[in-house]
Amino acid sequence: MSSEEGLSSTITDWLFINSWWLLLPFIMLLVVAAFIVAFVLLLYMISPLISPKPLKLNGAHVVVTGGSSGIGKSIAVECYKQGAFITLVARDEAKLLQAKKEVEKFAINDKQVVLCISVDVSSDYSQVESVIKQAQEKLGPVDMLVNCAGLAISGKFEDVEVDRFKSERRLNSQKLMEVNYLGSVYPTRAVITTMKERRMGRIMFVSSQAGQIGLFGYTAYSPSKFALRGLAESLQMEIKPYNIYVTVAYPPDTETPGLAEENKTKPLETKLISETSGVCQPDQVAKIIVRDAVQGNFNSSVGPDGYMLSALTCGMSPVTSITEGLQQIVTMGLFRTIALFYLGSFDSIVRRCMIQREQSKAADKRE
C-alpha cells in the first residue's frame, strides 16, 4: 500500500465518521416532526373531553346585566329569539321598560317572559344577591349569566380624574373598576352556587378589545377590562368540573350609547388608532357572542382584528376545541410579526399628534 492510498483512505474514513454530524439536523427534524405528530394525536384523543356540550337556549333562563341598552340589549334579543326567558338588569327603570318592550317583539312562543330588575350591580353585593334570588324564584335557576354592565371613558392618563379609576361617591358618576370589574364579580358570585349544584351553566364576561391590548387614552378603562380576563381564567379552572363554562367576549368599538358617551372625551390619538379597526353594530356582535357562549367557547371575538388579537393573547387561557388550539399554535408567530407593524404605526400616530400639539402651542404663543 502506497502512502498516497493510505492518506486517501484516512480521508474517506474521516469523512465517513464526520458526515454523521451532517445528518444531525435531519435527525433532529425527524424527532421534532414525530413529537408534533404525537402531540396532535394526543390532542385528538382528549378532544371529546375538552369540547363542552352546547347549551339549549329554548326554555333557558338568561340574566343580562346592562341589559337596557347597547350590546346587552342585543344579546337579550338574540337569546329571546331562540326561546329563552330573560331577566334584564340595569339601573334606569324607564330604560329597562323600554328595552323590555323591544325584546318582547321577538317572542317565538307565548310562554316567554321578560323580567326587569332595577339595581346597580356594582355597589352592594347583598342587594345583587337578593335580586338574583327574586329572579330565580320567578323564572327558575339561571342557566346563563351575561355580565354586560360596563362603561368606557377615555382620556390621557394625567387628564382622567384620579377618582374615576376606582369610584366616586357622587351618584351616576363614572366608576370604572367598580362597574366593569365588581359589577361582573357580584352577579357571578350570586349565581355560582346554584350552577354548581345543578352542574350546568354559562357565564359570560363582556370585556373589550381594550381588554387585550392597552391603547393610548385607556389607562383607566383597559385595566378594568383586563381584570375580567384574570377573573375568567381562574374561575373557569374552578368550575369546569361542574360543567360550567366561561366565555370572555372582546368586542371592538360598537355603535352603542356607551360609545357615544365615550366619543365625547376621546383624545385625537385614540380616535385615529381605533379607526384602524372600524365600528361594529350591536346585533352583529351579539350574534357572535351568544353563539360562542352556547358552545362554551372561552374566547369570543369579532372580525379579523379580533381573531388576530385573540390568537395573540391566548397565553395560558383554556382551550375549548382542538381546531382552536391548533390555530393558536400555528398563527401566533405570524400574528406577532403583523402586530409589530401595527404597534409601530400606533407609536407614529402618537408622536405625530404630540408634535402637532407642540407646534400649535408655539404658534399660539407667538400670536
Footprint of ligand NAG on 256-275 (CB under 6 A): 259-260, 263, 271
In whole angstroms, the minimum distance from the beta carbon of 130 to ligand NAG comes to: 34
CA dihedral sign of residues 358, 360, 364, 366:
positive
CB atoms within 10 A of CB 89: 30
Footprint of ligand NAG on 120-179 (CB under 6 A): none
Task: Count the alpha carbons within 13 Å of 263 in the hemisphere toward its beta carbon.
Answer: 10
CB atoms within 10 A of CB 8: 10
Query: How big is the chain by its Cα radius of gyration, in Å?
Result: 27
Contact string (CB under 6 A) for ligand NAG, positions 326-355, x = contact? -xx---------------------------
CA dihedral sign of residues 309, 324, 149, 257:
positive
* 51 vs 320: CA distance, rounded Å: 5
Cross-strand bridge partners of residue 250: 301
* 210 vs 214: CA distance, rounded Å: 6
Q: Choose between 184 and 313: whose C-beta lies nearer to ligand NAG.
A: 313
307 contributes a contact to ligand NAG by CB under 6 A: yes
295 contributes a contact to ligand NAG by CB under 6 A: no
74 contributes a contact to ligand NAG by CB under 6 A: no
222 carries an active-site annotation: no
Q: Choose between 178 and 324: whose C-beta lies nearer to ligand NAG.
A: 324
101 carries an active-site annotation: no
Number of residues that bind ligand NAG (CB under 6 A): 18
Contact string (CB under 6 A) for ligand NAG, positions 221-260, x = contact? ----------------------------------x---xx
Which is the catalytic residue, given 73, 95, 100, 225? 225
In whole angstroms, the minimum distance from the beta carbon of 256 to ligand NAG comes to: 7
* 132 vs 117: CA distance, rounded Å: 9
- Could you give the residue ranges of the DSSP H alpha helices within 51-182? 70-81, 93-104, 125-139, 162-166, 176
- Active-site residue set: 207, 221, 225
Residues binding ligand NAG (CB under 6 A): 255, 259-260, 263, 271, 279, 288, 292, 299-301, 307, 310-311, 314, 324, 327-328
